[in-house]
């Protein structure tokens, strides 16, 4: 975005003779302005990426699992403990999110869609790419 602006000054000075200092100075100032705006945009994206992560409570996850996998029948999970139901629900939602991200067909479930959108940021948090001395 910024670098092509620097190519304007030689082109402009061929049409405007004896004004090189004004043309080059104004182009440098425009370049610096665009550079600052680009850094500002990149910095704001870097510092607010974690706000795009969907926060899911255990109750929401359990309700989603019962609604989608057990057809709304909560008594089907009466024999399981709460951690067991949550483990099943996490496995099911992870499979749905991966399917929604990898296939061309998007999921119709808005819960899965919102989790699929925040998948990259979540993986950045969970998978450290730093070597062991820095982690």
Q: Across all residues in the chain, what is the average pLDDT?
A: 84
| Residue of 63, 80, 122, 74 lying closest to 97 (CA atoms) | 122
Given a contact cutoff of 8 angstroms between Cβ atoms, the answer to whether 2 and 31 are in contact is yes
Per-residue pLDDT tens over the stretch 75-125? 777 788 888 888 989 999 988 888 888 877 777 888 888 888 888 777 766
How confident is the model at residue 131, as a pLDDT? 47
How confident is the model at residue 26, as a pLDDT? 94
DSSP for 47-98? HHGGGGSPP--HHHHHHHHHHHTSTT-GGGGTTS-HHHHHHHHHHHHHHHHH
Given a contact cutoff of 8 angstroms between Cβ atoms, the answer to whether 27 and 60 are in contact is no
């Amino acid at each position: 975005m910024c670098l092509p602006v620097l190519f304007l000054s030689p082109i402009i000075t061929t049409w405007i003779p004896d004004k090189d200092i004004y043309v080059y100075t104004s182009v440098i100032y425009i370049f610096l302005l665009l550079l600052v705006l680009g850094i500002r945009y990149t910095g704001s994206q870097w510092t607010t990426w974690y706000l795009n992560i969907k926060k899911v409570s255990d109750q929401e996850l359990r309700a989603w699992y019962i609604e989608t996998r057990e057809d709304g029948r909560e008594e089907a999970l009466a024999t399981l403990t709460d951690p067991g139901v949550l483990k099943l629900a996490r496995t099911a939602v992870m499979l749905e999110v991966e399917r929604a991200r990898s296939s061309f067909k998007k999921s119709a479930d808005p819960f899965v869609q919102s989790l699929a959108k925040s998948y990259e940021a979540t993986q950045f948090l969970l998978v450290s790419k730093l070597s062991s001395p820095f982690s």
